[in-house]
Amino acid sequence: MAFPGLQHIAITVSDLRRSTEWYTRLFGAGPVLDEDEEGGEFHHTVFALDGGMLFGLHTHLGRETRDRADERRTGLDHVGFAVASHAELAEWAKRLDELGIPHGGVKKAHYGSGVSFRDPDNIPLEFFAGPE
């Protein structure tokens, strides 16, 4: 039996409105779900990405935090979004420039190339293309 692929990822954010606006600009589309979870523990705002992948933003009700993400702590290191080619990677770097989102430019390695950037909570994100 093959191990299944990822279906969704959910990240905790400190300011849901700010993050929803930021990710709406990045994804080029608004959320498909925006509601309190039925158990009352958290609110989730969910975006549908290509390939059936869902990307969720969570705020845990009654537990407001202003912490910034740090990949050097235990937990999430980064989220990588797959792109098909190095040409597409360059297009995404240009798109980040258009959106005013700072990034580290295209970095090349023997295992692939990426463009790294951060969301409003400092969560590291990356567009990544395998070796060509």
Domains in the chain, CATH or no CATH each: 7-62 (3.30.720.120), 77-132 (3.10.180.10)
Q: How many CB atoms lie within 10 A of CB 131?
A: 10
State yes or no: pLDDT of 54 exceeds 90: yes
Q: Which two tokens stand for residue 10?
A: 């959910």
Closest CA to 56 of 9, 124, 1: 9
| H helical segments located in 76-126 | 86-99
State yes or no: pLDDT of 25 exceeds 80: yes
- Dihedral, 91, 92, 97, 99 alpha carbons, nearest 10: 120
- Look at residue 22 in the predicted model and tell me its pLDDT: 98
Mean pLDDT for the chain overall: 91
For residue range 67-92, list pLDDT tens digits in order: 777 777 778 889 999 999 999 999 99
